[in-house]
């Protein structure tokens, strides 16, 4: 590449040089972006063809049988998972034990 003294160039010559450098830079960046986009498309295709597809987004969870029942309203039950229901907390704070609210399981 030819070295030139920028201080000796006129304003018009500097402006022409600036436009030439900007145009060359823009074309090289565009070409590089196309190359990168093609590589990304190829990688995306490889990933999509090699990974197994999921049928659903949710895992299968088995149903859990209830272990505790509200004696005041037998339709209210709790399986022992998650946050304690209000009726259970109320019974426990009134002095009952959690085993008093347990549902009798049939012997298998």
Give the tens place of pLDDT for each residue, 11-67.
999 999 999 999 999 999 999 999 999 999 888 887 777 767 666 677 788 888 999
Place of tokens 């030819």: 2
For residue 107, name the pLDDT band (cuts at 50, 70, 90). Answer: low
What's the confidence (pLDDT) of residue 54? 64
**Residue 97 pLDDT more than 80?**
yes
Q: Which two tokens stand for residue 3?
A: 């070295």
- Percentages (nearest 5) of helix, strand, coil residues in the chain: 50, 5, 45
17: number of Cβ within 10 Å: 13
The burial class, CB within 10 Å (0-12 / 13-18 / 19+), for 85 is middle
What's the confidence (pLDDT) of residue 46? 77
What's the confidence (pLDDT) of residue 23? 96
* pTM of the model as a whole: 0.43
What's the confidence (pLDDT) of residue 1? 52
Mean pLDDT along residues 75-79? 94
């Amino acid at each position: 590449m030819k070295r030139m003294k920028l201080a000796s160039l006129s304003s018009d010559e500097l402006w022409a040089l600036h436009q030439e450098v900007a145009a060359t830079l823009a074309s090289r960046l565009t070409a590089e972006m196309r190359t990168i986009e093609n590589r990304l498309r190829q990688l995306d295709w490889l990933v999509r063809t090699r990974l197994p597809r999921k049928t659903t987004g949710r895992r299968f969870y088995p149903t859990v049988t209830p272990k505790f029942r509200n004696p005041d309203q037998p339709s209210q039950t709790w399986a022992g998972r998650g946050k304690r229901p209000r009726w259970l907390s109320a019974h426990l704070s009134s002095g009952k034990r959690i085993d008093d609210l347990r549902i009798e399981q049939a012997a298998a």
